[in-house]
Amino acid sequence: MQLAIQVAGALAAGGLTLILVRQVVPRGRRAVGAVALVPVATACLVAAPVYRDQIGELLDQREANSTLTARDVRLGNGIGIDADVDFLGWAKGRLAAGETFGLVVENSEDPGSLEQWAFFQLAPYVAAEPSVADWVIFYDVDPEEYAGLGELDVYRPGFAIARSRLGR
Amino acid sequence: MGADIASFGVDALLALAGLWILVGIGLVPLRGYSMLAALGLAYMTGAALVPVVLIALLTIGIPVTLATFFIVVLACVVAGGFAGRNVRIGASQAPGAWRWLRSWRSWPAETWVVVAFVALFGAYSVIGMIGVYESPLVGWDSWSIWARKAQVLSLHDSLFGGFFTNQSYAFAHLDYPLQYPVWESLHFRAAGTFDIQAVLRHVWLLLVGSIWALAYLLRERVRPVVWAPILLLALTAPGISGQLRDGYADVPMALFACLGVVALGMWIDRQETGLLPLVAIMLAAAANTKNEGMATALAVLVVGGAIVLARNLNVKAYAATSGAVVVALLPWRIWLAAHGIEGDMPVSKGLDPGYLMDRIDRVGPTIAAINGQFADPERWLYLLPLATLVVVACLVSGVGRRVAAFYLGCFLLVWAVFVWSYWISPHDLEWHLGTSVERVVSIPMLVCLAALAHLSGLLLGELRRGPGSEHGAH
């Protein structure tokens, strides 16, 4: 409905312009050309305040950027979804070049988002199914329920890493 | 600092490659001020073409490194220089080309319009660059899909199977084309580091380059008094610049598509040399950025083809252009098929009447959501109602009628394809619309921008035409 009103308004403005221009320009195609004045005038009127607002927004963005720490930049997206970025960093420190990891997440409210972030933070290490990965990372889950693991390295209860027996 | 310079060096090389391609296809003469005026278009051409070539190389197993990038840039320069070798340097114009600057007191009003535009555009571009210079990527897909792929591409010289065929990363839409990640990865490689705080400064250049490119393309058909305010409107529209700062691929894709649509609209208008190759380059880039870009490119080519046939334009040249876009799409599509990677859209069911009827209840909310975005004056600043006005005026009066028909056809077909894509999507509709519709509308809105700038110019040109003249009907 809002779109229809806007379109009707633009057409009405064009029609009005045409009527006015026909007072000085002969009827026909030349006069219709005057409707171009509507977008030009609208653009001039609308662009000026938006230009000013956007400049303000860009300067605000610069201000906000100036307060960011290196940690905010590197881990901010994970912190934003309440991921335990310190645990993931700790786990990452245990992986060696070329090794793969599998992530087991159970209790998180949004395991999909957590997985996306964890894989991002753990890059360049490559994710794999936990059953075939070199390492299994347990995120808020009891590792005791999983068999076929090497020695468990616990960060805190529910958060741990273990070498898979299938792994290297 | 060195990393920053190196990554901006990539942009400079992309502009260099694009500039010589433009010379080669005859869109830019070999004159200093013309080449300077065309820098925005040159950057967009390089940013469009070079990644398309690199994607093709990746799919056939050729390692893509900085050396490969340099070779592709060099190939563009050599090919452009060779193709443009017969372009005459205006010997009599070249020495005095800048003389007009000294006579500024006698400049006509339109020159002052251009000067005002350059000042406002320049200030906005610089302040924008300052604003985003240290902005990290916070848009979800910007890091989870695009930067992630760019990181992989910057660490490996090939389409690393541990990622690109690994279903653990299915959430990153492994079927999406690689234009944007390849472009990002070139900057990461040059900088020697994966820094998500350094991406948006280059993304900002895509916006600046696109608006600059539109001004260059439109300059001979549209008077500055028309294109200057309309392009400033587009430059500042929060739907474009605000969204661009999220780091998603949608706006870059829409910018490529917009340049392709304008170039095709201008070719339909006047069939000038060089426009069709530019159409092919820009639509190929849009098609290689996202699947929506591919749908848009094909829709635009279908509409353009219908007008070419109806008006008996140069069918051979147009067919070659369309073929080039399809060929540019093939490497990635063949690679996907060869590796059994499929997207989540059930395209094959999309024409099954039973499937469509079972989901007919998705159509109404989809149309309402898309049209609701079009009507958002704070994001899109009345682009669609104004474009509607000029399209109707052209269709009714006959001024630039076939050009108006082209833009209208593009808008409607792209709109229909997007409605269809939500219709057949397997995802929960509310979630799908909620997470994507405000980005998806970028392409149709930039088609509106193209129509608005181009057709307003044709209309105003008609108004200024002398009495009795009836040229310009198409």
* A126 → closest Cβ in B163, B237, B384: B163
Residue-wise pLDDT for B384-399, tens only, equals 999 999 999 999 999 9
**What is the 3-state secondary structure of chain A?**
CHHHHHHHHHHHHHHHHHHHHCCCCCCCHHHHHHHHHHHHHHHHHHHHHHHHHHHHHHHHHHHHHHCCCHHHHHHHHHHHCCCCHHHHHHHHCCCCCCCEEEEEECCCCCHHHHHHHHHHHHCCCEECCCCCCCEEEEECCCHHHCCCEEEEEEEECCEEEEEECCCC
pLDDT over 70, % of chain B: 95
Q: Across the strands, what pairs with A156?
A: A159
Residue-wise pLDDT for B145-202, tens only, equals 999 999 999 999 999 999 999 999 999 999 999 999 999 999 999 999 999 999 999 9
Residue B472 gets the label, from left (phi > 0), alpha (psi -120 to 50) or beta, of left
The pLDDT of residue B91: 42
CB-based contacts of B89, cutoff 8 Å, min separation 6: B29, B30, B31
Distance CA B141, CA B240 (A): 17
The pLDDT of residue B463: 82
pLDDT band at A167 (very low <50, low <70, confident <90, very high): very low
Distance from CA of B90 to the nearest CA of A (A): 35
Show me where the domains of chain A are located. Answer: 2-66, 76-164
Phi, psi of B247 (to 5 degrees): 80, 15
pLDDT over 70, % of chain A: 96
Q: In chain B, which residue's Cα lies nearest the Cα of A53? A: B236
Task: Please tell me the pTM assigned to this model.
Answer: 0.94
The pLDDT of residue A110: 84
* Residue at B92 is within a domain: no
Q: What is the mean pLDDT of residues B311-320?
A: 95
Type of residue found at B231:
L
pLDDT band at A168 (very low <50, low <70, confident <90, very high): very low
* Residue at B91 is within a domain: no
In chain B, residues 257-296 whose CB comes closer than 8 Å to chain A:
none
The pLDDT of residue B13: 98
- Answer yes or no: are the C-beta atoms of A117 and B172 closer than 8 Å: no
Cα B395 versus chain centre, distance? 26
pLDDT band at B471 (very low <50, low <70, confident <90, very high): very low
Q: What is the mean pLDDT of residues A139-165?
A: 85
The total of structural domains in chain B comes to 1
pLDDT band at A150 (very low <50, low <70, confident <90, very high): confident
The dihedral of CA A86, A91, A96, A98: what is its sign?
A: negative
Distance from CA of B358 to the nearest CA of A (A): 27
* Residue at B474 is within a domain: no
**Domain extent at residue B231:** 2-82+114-464
* Residue at B102 is within a domain: no
ipTM attached to this prediction: 0.90
Name the most confidently modeled range: A31-35, A90-94, B272-276.
A90-94
Q: What is the mean pLDDT of residues B86-103?
A: 59
CB-based contacts of B251, cutoff 8 Å, min separation 6: B206, B207, B240, B243, B244, B439, B442
**Is B70 within 8 Å of chain A by CB?**
no
How much is the mean pLDDT over chain B? Answer: 92
* Residue at B223 is within a domain: yes
Residue with tokens 């608006």: B211
* Residue at B469 is within a domain: no
Which residues of chain A does B242 touch, with a Cβ-Cβ cutoff of 8 Å?
54, 57
